Amino acid sequence: MDLREAEGRFLEYLEFERRVSPHTLRAYRGDLEGFLATVERTTSRTAVVGDFTIRMLRIHIAELHGTRASSGVARRISALRSFGEFLRRQGVLTENPATLVPAPKQRGRLPTVLPVEDVTALIEAPWPESAAGLRDRAVLEVLYGAGLRVSECSQLDLPHVIEEGGTIRLRVRGKGGKDREVPLGRKGRAALTAYLRHRTDLMTPRTPTQALFVGQRGGRMGVRAMRALVNQRCDQTGSRARVSPHGLRHSFASHLLESGADLRTIQTLLGHASLSTTQRYTHLTLGKLFDVYEQAHPRATLAKQELPKRSKRNA
């Protein structure tokens, strides 16, 4: 079988059965195209399924070292393992050779998290008194107040805003097409309500009638525009760290954990499939843990001297 034909079937499986996001689909396509290019350059012919071997995989991965970060190489190996597993389940291969390719060791990077006061300044610093200003504030309130991925925020429609008994919940379509409902706090509710009163001021004949956040040209406000908005606010407010929309999501989770929320609750709010993904936020709160211990424990001064020094990574 032509390996490009197998690639097409795999991408269809991801899109229609696994229901991965468009961003994930593009990433898989790019990763597989890179491997196919290596095969065809090495063999000087069209790639066939028989070329999906441990030797060819190692040639491809060797080409990546020195040109890609270890995280990028690891992602490429993960994509190839998924592709190989698909071929094995389809009966095209008897075994998946990609499982024999080791992923490079990666340094554990903790997500960027803003202090509460920086998030407050980011959102509450003066905004333009216009429909666009109301929209932009509402976007930041939703990103941080509900802990949404930027793609989830962009795809919100008016029916996804559920008002009930003075509260607002958002029905969110997450990764893998999984739906969840998340609450929006008092300030987020006020910002969203104020924006909705003026939403029609931003609309044009081409505006999707159901899009919650309307962009500059009247269409749905996209992921790129939301990222640019967050970057612009970081510059305007003099934030100590430039944070991305995903950084606001990380801040949401970390601040909840520091305030006593349990990991299972945070996992549900974030829409994580695995608790292990949520557990990385425990590293971010070790500094808070030590501060509370020092203030509360009667022998904290002595204990602090005896405790081993924390590395910068775990601080």
Catalytic residues: 149, 175, 246, 249, 272, 281
Q: What's 112's DSSP letter?
A: P
99 Cβ neighbours under 8 A, 6+ residues apart: 81, 84
Q: What are phi and psi of 107, to 5 degrees?
A: -75, 130
Tell me the two tokens of residue 31.
């990763």
Q: What are phi and psi of 217, to 5 degrees?
A: -100, 10
How many residues are recorded in the chain?
Answer: 315
Element (H, E) at 277: helix 275-279
Tell me the two tokens of residue 8.
């097409």
Buried/exposed 295-304: b ≥16 CB within 10 Å, e otherwise: eeeeeeeeee
Return the amino acid letter for 103.
A
